[in-house]
């Protein structure tokens, strides 16, 4: 596997680490349990990192030195593709001939390296986009920057080179076909999963006690990277509307923002805190709590403690946080975009909101907070919905895609 721009060992929720990191390591772990040996190549971001780290039995993470360890933005990484690719090829050259049977690249930068390795080693390339520039540019958040033309061209090249493309949802598959001219026969839909041993129902009162939350609070939670794409500001603006309508809610509302700045959010890392101040949501009688990124087991505790989890993103290829929240029995209020329309069953496991207008979001959030009968039904539906997503099933389907790619290996382009 190639995950150039972010390591599967990084803490999700900050920098460039997010759902893709979870995806890569969870998939690798499940494949290894089926007897597949996995080497994950990623760019080293510290001189203290060991060249090779054993993450799990059968899963090794190889840190490649390509460019400075720190201070290299994602849009500067294309300049390091050549040296990264050279080091990947050099690592393979030290192995017996035919050591690798397939390459699975994640995100377009990795796909560029994967295409070279594919042709050099004579093995199939399977690629997962995770996000696509054309889709992101069609639904930009206010103040966010469009993805550059170089990325769009790079993605088109990877789509052409790959033997098989894995899409997270039917919607993503259609986007690959309609926006990138992918051959329909080379696109397979494989849903990501959720670790049901980690993300599971817990006693809500106990979870709140462990986190220092009032047992009788209405907890409206956001979890993820703090950047315009993820739209945590929409949640804050909606909460301000709720308090404008019903000031008495202030005494029992708690709004945890779990995560750190990322992407274009790094340009103004303080902007969300400033917005909370402007909306009078912080301070001694404030409702917002900023929580640094947390490990998966701690995130599961936060999800279980929440009344609902809000996912107001402008685009999500899947929306892993939404599945994780539902697996704890917590309903999700999500934007009706991308993979979230697959992950969340509107009216059954959560509510889908068209657009990002704060008053519409306040309406949806208020319904879950104020309607006890609805909330109880959504909690039961959330658990049922989450059971349909399994990393074991993801691994089985991915192995089938690998075998198809090996059987239908294209001639080098």
Report the binding-site residues for UDP-N-acetyl-alpha-D-glucosamine: 11-12, 19, 225, 230, 294, 316, 324
| Dist CA 413 CA 401 (whole Å) | 20
Residues making up the binding site for 1D-myo-inositol 3-phosphate: 5, 16-21, 74, 107, 131, 151
Phi, psi of 255 (to 5 degrees): -125, 90
Residue 102: both structure tokens together? 């397939």
| Dist CA 219 CA 215 (whole Å) | 10
Closest CA to 162 of 214, 107, 99: 107
Residues making up the binding site for Mg(2+): 306, 330
The beta strands (E) that lie in 185-321 are given as: 187-189, 218-223, 253-258, 288-291, 308-311
| Dist CA 316 CA 354 (whole Å) | 14
| Dist CA 338 CA 357 (whole Å) | 18
| Dist CA 327 CA 200 (whole Å) | 5
Residues making up the binding site: 5, 11-12, 16-21, 74, 107, 131, 151, 225, 230, 294, 306, 316, 324, 330
Phi, psi of 59 (to 5 degrees): -125, 115
Tracing tokens 């076909």 back to the chain, one arrives at: 177
Helices (H), 215-330: 232-245, 271-278, 296-305, 320-327
């Amino acid at each position: 596997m190639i995950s150039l721009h972010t390591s599967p060992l990084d803490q999700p929720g900050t920098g460039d680490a997010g759902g893709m990191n979870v995806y890569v390591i969870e998939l690798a772990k499940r494949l290894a349990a089926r007897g597949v040996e996995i080497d994950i190549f990623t760019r080293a971001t510290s001189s203290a990192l060991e060249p090779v780290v054993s993450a799990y039995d059968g899963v090794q993470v190889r840190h490649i030195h390509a460019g400075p360890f720190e201070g290299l933005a994602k849009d500067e990484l294309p300049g390091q593709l050549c040296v990264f690719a050279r080091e990947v090829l050099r690592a393979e050259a030290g192995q017996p001939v035919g050591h690798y049977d397939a390459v699975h690249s994640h995100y377009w930068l990795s796909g560029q390296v994967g295409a070279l390795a594919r042709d050099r080693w004579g093995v199939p390339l399977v690629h997962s986009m995770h996000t696509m520039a054309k889709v992101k540019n069609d639904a930009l958040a206010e103040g966010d920057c469009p993805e550059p033309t170089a990325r769009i061209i790079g993605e088109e090249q990877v789509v052409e080179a790959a033997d098989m493309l894995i899409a997270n949802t039917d919607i993503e598959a259609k986007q690959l076909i309609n926006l990138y001219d992918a051959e329909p026969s080379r696109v397979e839909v494989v849903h990501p999963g959720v670790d049901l041993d980690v993300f599971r129902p817990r006693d809500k009162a106990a979870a709140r006690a462990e986190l220092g939350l009032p047992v009788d609070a209405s907890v409206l939670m956001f979890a993820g990277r703090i950047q315009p794409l993820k739209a945590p500001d929409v949640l804050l603006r909606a909460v301000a509307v709720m308090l404008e309508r019903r000031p008495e809610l202030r005494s029992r509302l708690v709004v945890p923002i779990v995560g750190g700045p990322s992407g274009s959010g790094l340009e103004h890392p303080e902007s969300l805190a400033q917005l909370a101040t402007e909306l009078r949501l912080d301070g001694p009688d404030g409702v917002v709590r900023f929580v640094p990124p947390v490990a998966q087991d701690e995130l599961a505790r936060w999800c279980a403690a929440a009344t609902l989890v809000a996912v107001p993103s402008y685009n999500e290829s899947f929306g892993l946080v939404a599945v994780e929240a539902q697996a704890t029995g917590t309903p999700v209020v999500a934007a009706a975009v991308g993979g979230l329309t697959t992950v969340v069953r509107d009216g059954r496991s959560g509510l889908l909101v068209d657009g990002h207008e704060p008053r519409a979001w306040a309406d949806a959030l208020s319904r879950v907070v104020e309607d006890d009968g609805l909330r109880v039904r959504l909690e039961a539906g959330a658990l049922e919905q989450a059971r349909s997503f399994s990393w074991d099933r993801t691994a089985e389907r991915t192995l089938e895609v690998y075998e198809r790619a090996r059987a239908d290996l294209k001639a080098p382009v």
